[in-house]
Amino acid sequence: MLCGICVKRCPVPEKAVNFRNGSENPPVYDYKKCIRCFCCQEMCPEKAIHVK
> Where do contacts with ligand SF4 occur on this chain (CB under 6 A)?
1-6, 9-10, 12, 16-17, 26-27, 29, 34-40, 44, 46, 48-49
DSSP-based three-state secondary structure for 28: strand
Phi then psi dihedrals of residue 9, to 5 deg: -85, -15
Whole-angstrom distance between the N-terminal and C-terminal Cα of the chain? 21
Nearest distance, CB of residue 2 and ligand SF4, angstroms: 5
Q: Would you say 21 or 48 has its CB closer to ligand SF4?
A: 48
Nearest distance, CB of residue 31 and ligand SF4, angstroms: 8
